[in-house]
């Protein structure tokens, strides 16, 4: 599966537009792979940011996987024009990541 933020793929031509696909994932910024931060670690900024970054990376990958699964369900072999939106839920430590693009079928130019 080819994924790109651009509207075209060099060396390929778009044969058919299949539709818009989305992958959405959410999780607490204070956890990563099911492990919660201790109360003490929340005040250690280095550990806090490391856990936050690891949690963010994990849910981003999950959102991209859902995007790919939704594109495959439409028999697409690429997604173009991908946009990533990261939103915190107010009054909580939960992040929502939404990845949206256009599922397409592509073939090589050769």
**What confidence tier does 3 reach under pLDDT thresholds 50, 70, 90?**
very high
CB half-sphere exposure, 34, CA atoms < 13 A: 0
Q: What is the pLDDT of residues 77-99, one digit of tens each?
A: 999 999 999 888 777 778 899 99
CA-to-CA separations, 109 to 8, 9, 11, 12, 105, in angstroms, rounded: 12, 10, 6, 5, 13
| Tally of domains in the chain | 1
CATH number for 47: 3.30.110.70
Q: Is 55 exposed, middle or buried (0-12, 13-18, 19+ CB in 10 A)?
A: buried
pTM (predicted TM-score): 0.79
Q: What is the pLDDT of residues 55-74, one digit of tens each?
A: 788 899 999 999 999 999 99
According to DSSP, the residues that pair with 35 across neighbouring strands are 32
Domain boundaries, position 14: 2-108
């Amino acid at each position: 599966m080819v994924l790109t933020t651009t509207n075209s793929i060099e060396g390929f031509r778009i044969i058919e537009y299949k539709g818009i696909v989305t992958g959405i994932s959410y999780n607490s910024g204070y956890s990563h792979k099911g492990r919660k931060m201790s109360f003490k670690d929340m005040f250690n900024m280095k550990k806090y940011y490391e856990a936050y970054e690891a949690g963010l990376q994990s849910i981003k990958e999950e959102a991209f996987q859902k995007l790919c699964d939704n594109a495959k369900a439409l028999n697409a072999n690429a997604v173009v024009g991908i946009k990533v939106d990261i939103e915190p839920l107010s009054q909580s430590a939960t992040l929502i990541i939404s990845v949206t693009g256009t599922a397409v079928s592509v073939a090589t130019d050769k």
